[in-house]
Structure 1
Amino acid sequence: MYAEELARLRKLHGWTLVELGDRCNYEQSYLHRLETGGRLGTLEAAQALDRVYGTGHVAKLWLLAKEEAKRSRYGGFADVEADATSIQEFSISTVPGLLQTRAYAEELLRTTAPGSDKELAAGVDARISRQIILSGKRAIIYRGLLDESVLRRPTLSSSSWREQVESLIEAAQQPNITLQIVPFKAGLHRLINSSLQLLWLQRGQTVTYVESSWSGQLVEEFEDVEKLRLFYDRLRDSALSPSESLQQLHDTLEDTTSCVTSPQT
């Protein structure tokens, strides 16, 4: 819908791509890819086109297209995740989705993917429903590496943060779950800008999902998966042991509790 509307507006004004580019200060090749669906482009480009065309809906269409692309990408990944028998994960800045409480997930999605209350509720429900793979008779084997920054970035609500830390402590003591903290003193490493999931699937294949702040990519090529697995293994070697990590979670919970101010009488 977005690409078609861009092409329609330009033809409506009778401009060539070169003429449009002169007006909005974007390259002809870039505009061509926007109109043919080759790329989504940026919000700034959509806003520039709104100014040139004298419209107000191009940026709105861009936001809708971006959200649809995100739903398609994550929907497909959820299917892959549900097929896993074992997952090894590294999270650089937030509690992994498979370990989030409802309150934590709600605050995170409200901050990073704002939308209507209905959309927010649907997003939270979808995230929580994924966690079924960690329990029951067919529970997967899960190992999570959490950067120390995950524990240093609480939610705005102290009660929901305590609930989240308590949930991590409980998870860390499950027989199929291993949690390890990667301390700041581990220094720089190859995954410093990314979160990562290694997934062993029921059909014997191993795939990797790499995510940054703005994008996510499912990696299936054997050589690339092996390279990312090596990065993960090296990072695991620099992490605290499971028992040390559990103690750090308890320390975090204690710090959180001690920071709560008692009401004045």
Structure 2
Amino acid sequence: MNTPRSPTIRRRRLGFELRRHREAAGITIDVVAERLGCSASKVSRIETGHTGAAPRDVRDILDIYGVPESVKEELVQIAREARQKGWWHPFSTVLNSAYVGLEAATRSIRTYEQQVVPGLLQSEEYAIAMIRAARLGDTDSEIEQRVHVRMARQSLLTQDDPIDLRVVLDEAVLSRPVGGDKVMRDQLIRLVDAARLPNVIIQILPFAAGPHAGMDGTFAILEFEEDEDADVVFAENATGGLFLEKAEELRKYYSIFETIRATALPPEESIEMIEMLVEEPLWKLKRRVSGSI
């Protein structure tokens, strides 16, 4: 699944190239829309990668810009690839954003999580419990589809050319028994197993660290296979999430992640902490302290 031919990333690349050629030609979006007989918003959405473009439309757009034939052929081919369906397409009704399509083209992901185990590291039972709690309006069928997509995404970590995954987890992630005691203990064991993979690094940010650079929220930095595809930051929320692509935004989040990583426990100490929590879970300790059953 990890391929630079992901239709999502190809659509994003196509939009970037079309915008670059339009600006080089000194032509406005309104002029392009008038020549094509469509709305300016459609042209804008093509350039931002939110909407695909038919190969014929791409050729017509490039004719307006007067680009060489060789460039046209290359971008028309990208337009064809962008119109292909990704493996996740049958589940598009339960996907809130383009994240899965972008993730499929990554070479590495750096992520910080405050509340839950990242989807790439979740056990199936944990995923079911988490989605059921967070998606109150979902039917059983929708929950099943979301879990199926989440499990399928995890092949990115074990395929022949796996992605690199760097994760910093707040200690709170390990403290909340999502799905109950057994499900959470099994999830912790799964984290230990994942951390032993050569392409995965997991670090724990302990409560003792106090205030830290990541307190504004969780995020993931996606880095792509091809140099022409700019990295992107994804900040998830209940309605899908926010994609950040500007150079200054990327620099800020890279800095935040490196600061958090340096504050967190080293990888081996983090694994030891997770293994300890399998035997002595924090939620058990808190029940004893609070006197609850």
TM-score scaled by length of structure 2:
0.61
CA separation of 1:70/1:121 partners in 2, compared to 1, >3 Å: closer, same or farther?
closer
Q: Deviations over 1:122-179 (max 9, x none)?
A: 0110111111111121101111000000011112422211211110010011111000
Paired-residue identity, %? 30
CA contact (8 A) 1:200 1:206 kept: yes
Alignment-mate amino acid for residue 203 of structure 2: Q
Higher RCO (CA-CA < 8 Å; seq separation 6+): 2
* In structure 2, C-alpha distance between the alignment counterparts of 1:86 and 1:154, rounded to whole Å: 29
**Counterpart selection for 1:127 from 113, 127, 150:** 150
Secondary structure at the residue paired with 2:220?
Answer: strand
Secondary structure at the residue paired with 2:264?
Answer: coil
- 1:62-81 mapped onto 2 (5 Å cutoff): 71=94, 73-74=96-97, 76-81=98-103
**Counterpart selection for 1:85 from 90, 107, 114:** 107
What is aligned with 1:46? none
Secondary structure at the residue paired with 2:150?
Answer: helix
* In structure 2, C-alpha distance between the alignment counterparts of 1:216 and 1:229, rounded to whole Å: 18
Secondary structure at the residue paired with 1:93?
Answer: coil
Runs of 4+ in 1 over 6 A off after TM superposition: none
What is aligned with 1:233? 258
Q: Deviations over 1:98-141 (max 9, x none)?
A: 10000000000000013111111001101111111111211011
Secondary structure at the residue paired with 1:203?
Answer: coil
Secondary structure at the residue paired with 2:111?
Answer: strand
**Counterpart selection for 1:148 from 150, 171, 178:** 171
Alignment-mate amino acid for residue 206 of structure 1: D
CA contact (8 A) 1:139 1:176 kept: yes
* In structure 2, C-alpha distance between the alignment counterparts of 1:130 and 1:121, rounded to whole Å: 14
In structure 2, runs of 5+ residues without a counterpart are 1-90, 285-293
Following superposition, the deviation at residue 185 of structure 1 comes to 1.7
What is aligned with 2:181? 158
CA separation of 1:257/1:163 partners in 2, compared to 1, >3 Å: closer, same or farther?
farther
CA contact (8 A) 2:175 2:283 kept: no
CA separation of 1:70/1:193 partners in 2, compared to 1, >3 Å: closer, same or farther?
farther
Alignment-mate amino acid for residue 88 of structure 1: R
RMSD of aligned Cα (Å): 2.2
* In structure 1, C-alpha distance between the alignment counterparts of 2:187 and 2:95, rounded to whole Å: 28
CA contact (8 A) 1:133 1:140 kept: yes
* In structure 2, C-alpha distance between the alignment counterparts of 1:212 and 1:72, rounded to whole Å: 12
Following superposition, the deviation at residue 72 of structure 1 comes to 5.4
Q: Deviations over 1:20-66 (max 9, x none)?
A: xxxxxxxxxxxxxxxxxxxxxxxxxxxxxxxxxxxxxxxxxxxxxxx
CA separation of 1:257/1:190 partners in 2, compared to 1, >3 Å: closer, same or farther?
closer
* In structure 2, C-alpha distance between the alignment counterparts of 1:92 and 1:70, rounded to whole Å: 27
Aligned length in residues: 191
Alignment-mate amino acid for residue 79 of structure 1: G
What is aligned with 1:188? 211
Alignment-mate amino acid for residue 105 of structure 2: D
* In structure 2, C-alpha distance between the alignment counterparts of 1:191 and 1:96, rounded to whole Å: 16
CA contact (8 A) 2:213 2:259 kept: no
CA separation of 1:228/1:202 partners in 2, compared to 1, >3 Å: closer, same or farther?
same
* In structure 2, C-alpha distance between the alignment counterparts of 1:130 and 1:69, rounded to whole Å: 14
